[in-house]
Chain A
């Protein structure tokens, strides 16, 4: 395959991983826990997008044949799906995280409660719309061609879009974190919740903000992946969820640029796996992760935590 094409493939997949890992990182940085329901929120984002562009539910599930009365263009559907996913993420925070956070429970428990929330969401999807796969037709993009030439190679429009949207979102997020009042508040809470509280920052609101944002990013990532490779069923977020975890640690827990860098590295590495070895592609990210953890346990861009004696 053409090098440029591999590069675009890798970068676009990597950008999605990055968006995904960013959601984990936002929550991790304010709460110090991993949200295992993140994959399910991503999945929901994909289904929301499908429904919003006017897609109909298949023959299985309680909602068989259901179709929204509107059919939005992809451009309109994607942000709405992100908002929907953000609402679900807020609900997950309310049910699975806040009760534990409030009594300063063992962070281990949040792994289990968020997993429980994920199991509920995934099986709710299955109950409602069945286990079959859904494709978001590229027709939803309007008149764009399926692929276009770039420097002598052909690039799929969907992938270029994936990359473009991811880059724009990452840039907006970085600007917002560095430039806005809430963004700085979020960083302050991540740095030191108690001091932040003393400075009058409402840490509960910041936690909610982190969940909302992480849900939005997951939902958008879900919609984009749904467009590029179709929705393979209620469980399809789990694989991405796992890979996002690898990306997260690869880049360094709690580091926003780390999440992006980790995503791009994993995406590119996977794209360069030769076709004969494609079965092993899924192990690439974990192999990488393993190596990085052993050589540099804080991840590529993670800060070392001081040990206090």
Chain B
């Protein structure tokens, strides 16, 4: 494990330090801080509009924060951008699904293997033996990932033609192809029935073991999150109102207020 320079403990994989995000008059994130330890499944819950996806966008480099910063293994990630952060080891899925719709399922995963696909240009143009071997290796890795996510039978289908649940899994496969250390899942269970949600929970467990991943997950379905996550943070109106184990969060009065107090009541002191 990485040790911090002063030897006081392991450096967290990702630290979010007092991140704020302002869109015009709206403060979507207000001084949010949290730290992810390597290997944990960390949940992010909160009512609609609490700023969860905005936090994902900041962490994955799509939205520059108006204040604060993120640290990856102790080093600031400011200015890296989405592709730079992905190459560091952060991959994500999207709430509204953003697949490469005109490409096949297999090609979507191959695009995810972009970082691994670097070969000498001349050999690639001529399609020489080394290039073909490399290519076969990539195809094999892609099929492995598709098999893991039970998509292998659909490999040649156009991604845009897949049913909803398969698209969700394909997005995870594509993210995994980039060999991440941290996987951000934005509402992966949205639109799934209870059986599918159960499958998804098992799947997330499997991929954590298989890839020794750290997972940060946004999900509305609180029971699922309580079962799945090692720790949870609760956002409300852009502020982190609770952080801890599922048991701690469940009994936190502020969380109960945010979830049960009705959105009107919680809004009063939330801003």
Touching chains A and B, CB distance < 8 Å? yes
Interface residues, chain A, with chain B CB atoms under 8 Å away: 308-309
- Expressed in whole angstroms, the minimum distance between the Cβ of B207 and any Cβ of chain A is 23
Chain A neighbourhood of B57, CB < 8 A: 309
Q: Is B33 an interface residue (CB 8 A)?
A: no
Complexed CA–CA distance, A308 and B98 (Å): 12
When C-beta atoms are compared, the residue in chain A nearest to B23 turns out to be: A306
Closest to A308 in B: B96
Q: Which residues of B contact A308 (CB under 8 A)?
A: 96
B63 neighbours in A (Cβ, 8 Å): 309
B100: interface (CB < 8 Å): no
Bound: A309/B53 CA distance, A: 8
A84 to chain B, nearest CB (A): 44
Apart from the given pairs A309-B57, A309-B62, 6 other A-B contacts in the complex at a CB distance below 8 Å: A308-B96, A309-B53, A309-B63, A309-B94, A309-B95, A309-B96
Whole-angstrom distance between the alpha carbons of A222 and B246 in the complex? 71
What separation, in Å, do the CA atoms of A309 and B59 have in the docked complex?
A: 14
The chain A residue sitting closest to B53, CB to CB, is A309
A308–B63 CA distance with the chains assembled, in angstroms:
11
Contacts of B62 in A (CB 8 A): 309
C-beta contact mask, B239-262 vs A, less than 8 Å → 1, else 0? 000000000000000000000000
Chain A residues lying within 8 Å of B95, measured Cβ to Cβ, are 309
CB-CB nearest in chain B for A304: B24
A185 to B66, CA, bound (A): 37
**Residues of chain B lying within 8 A (CB to CB) of residue A309:** 53, 57, 62-63, 94-96
User: Taking CB as reference atom, which chain A residue is nearest B94?
Assistant: A309
Chain B, residues 74-97, CB within 8 Å of chain A (1/0): the string is 000000000000000000001110
**Cα(A308)–Cα(B23), bound, Å:** 12
| Residues of chain A lying within 8 A (CB to CB) of residue B94 | 309
The complex places the Cα of A97 from the Cα of B53 at a distance, in Å, of 38
A309 to B95, CA, bound (A): 8
Distance to closest chain B CB from A303 (angstroms): 11
The residues of A that contact B96 with a CB separation of less than 8 Å are: 308-309
Least Cβ–Cβ distance between B190 and chain A, in angstroms: 15
Taking the closest CB of chain B, its distance from the CB of A56, in whole angstroms, is 56
Per the bound structure, the CA–CA distance linking A255 and B4 in Å amounts to 54
Residue-wise interface mask of B (14-30) relative to A, using a CB-CB cutoff of 8 A (1 in contact, 0 not)? 00000000000000000
CA distance A195 to B94 in the complex (A): 26
Which residues does chain A contribute within 8 Å of B53, judged by CB atoms? 309
Shortest CB-to-CB span from A104 to chain B, Å, is 15
A-contact 0/1 string along B120-161, CB 8 Å cutoff = 000000000000000000000000000000000000000000
A309 to B61, CA, bound (A): 12
Q: How far is the CA of A309 from the CA of B63 in the complex (A)?
A: 10
Interface flags, B213-239, vs A, CB<8A=1, else 0: 000000000000000000000000000
A309, B96: Cα distance in complex, Å? 8
Smallest Cβ distance from B37 to chain A, in angstroms? 27
A-B contact pairs, 8 of them (CB 8 A): A308-B96, A309-B53, A309-B57, A309-B62, A309-B63, A309-B94, A309-B95, A309-B96
What residue in chain A is nearest B60 (Cβ atoms)? A309
Residue of B nearest to A306 (CB): B23
A309 vs B58: C-alpha distance when bound (angstroms): 12
Give bound CA distance, A309 to B92, whole Å: 12
> Which residues of B (36-82) have their CB < 8 Å from a CB of A?
53, 57, 62-63
Across the A-B interface, give the 3 residue pairs with the lowest CB-CB distance, nearest first. Answer: A309-B57, A309-B62, A309-B53
- Shortest Cβ distance from residue A139 to the other chain B in the assembled complex, whole angstroms: 57
CB distance from B162 to the nearest CB of A (A): 21
Distance A308 CA – B96 CA, assembled complex (angstroms) = 10
Q: Nearest chain A CB to B47's CB is how many angstroms away?
A: 19
A88 to B53, CA, bound (A): 48
CB distance from B72 to the nearest CB of A (A): 21
- Chain A residue with Cβ nearest B92: A309
Give complex CA distance A309, B57 in Å: 8
Instruction: Give the Cβ gap from A69 to chain B, nearest Cβ, in Å.
Output: 59
Residue in A closest to B95 when the chains form the complex, CB atoms? A309
Q: How far is the CB of B95 from chain A (nearest CB, A)?
A: 8
The CA of A307 and the CA of B215, in the complex, are separated in Å by: 26
| Cα–Cα, bound, A308→B53 (Å) | 11
Q: Within the assembled complex, what's the spacing in Å between the Cα atoms of A309 and B94?
A: 8
Query: From residue A101, how far is it (CB to closest CB) to chain B in Å?
Result: 22
Chain A proximity of B145: nearest CB distance (Å): 24
Give Cα A309–Cα B62 distance, bound, in whole angstroms: 9
**Alpha-carbon distance A225/B268, docked complex (angstroms):** 61
Q: Output the least CB separation between B65 and chain A (Å).
A: 15
- Hey, what's the 0/1 contact readout for B94-123 against A, CB within 8 Å counting as 1? 111000000000000000000000000000
Q: How far apart sit A87 and B104, CA to CA, in the bound complex (Å)?
A: 46
Measured between C-beta atoms, what is the minimum distance from B185 to chain A in Å?
Answer: 14
Min Cβ gap A280→B in Å is 38
- In the complex, A308→B95 CA distance in Å? 11
Inter-chain CA distance A308–B94, complex, in Å, is 11
- B50 → chain A closest CB, angstroms: 15
Across the interface, name the chain A residue whose C-beta is closest to B62.
Answer: A309
